[in-house]
Amino acid sequence: MTVKDKLIVALDVTTIDRARQLISELKADVGMFKVGSQLFTLAGRNLVEEIIASGNKVFLDLKFHDIPHQVAGAARVAAELGVSLFTIHASGGSEMMRRAVEAVSETAERNNIGPVKVVAVSVLTSMDNNALNEIGVTRTADHAVEQLVRLAASSGVHGVVSSPQEAVKIRSLRRPG
């Protein structure tokens, strides 16, 4: 794996023109571009298709969280669109995560496309203990992250998204092998 393959640039910009400018300037040096909810809502699948057509990969960061059937459907569409990885919320539960992973695997096999990775978000970095308490989570953010990461790992997702503060703890939780 080259340095380029390891580099993901977040297109957290407010205009399509700025996103296209960054893609044009960086496409030779970047392996993947992250498209989040603001840019995707603004530009839609067309921009994702443009990035892929330019020879780069896409990390679709939409954090799917819904009933298992809906997330599996969204996962299938993301795979068919050609993204390389996308996010789901671990708090959607094990069935939701398993169904997303299964949908991606089936779609990749059926359409003979490369691997599509599903990564789970545990607790948003904006959520502290007080915010979690507001929604009925009585454990600390650290405990919630640990529980959700374990659930994600047992559900077959390919990885988790974490803050730098959580990375060491999460590494200690990873599955053997």
Tell me the C-alpha distance between 143 and 135, whole Å.
Answer: 15
pLDDT per residue as tens digits for the range 111-147: 999 899 999 999 998 899 999 999 999 999 899 999 9
Q: Is 126 helix (H, G, I), strand (E, B) or coil?
A: coil
Backbone angles phi, psi at 147, to 5 degrees: -65, -45
pLDDT at 125 (0 to 100): 87
pLDDT per residue as tens digits for the range 28-84: 999 999 999 999 999 999 999 999 999 999 999 999 999 999 999 999 999 999 999
From the candidates 27, 34, 57, 63, give the one annotated as an active-site residue.
Answer: 63
pLDDT at 80 (0 to 100): 97
Contact 54, 20 (CB under 8 A): no
Asked about 63 being catalytic, the answer comes back as yes
pLDDT at 176 over 70: no
pLDDT at 17 (0 to 100): 97
pLDDT at 177 over 60: no
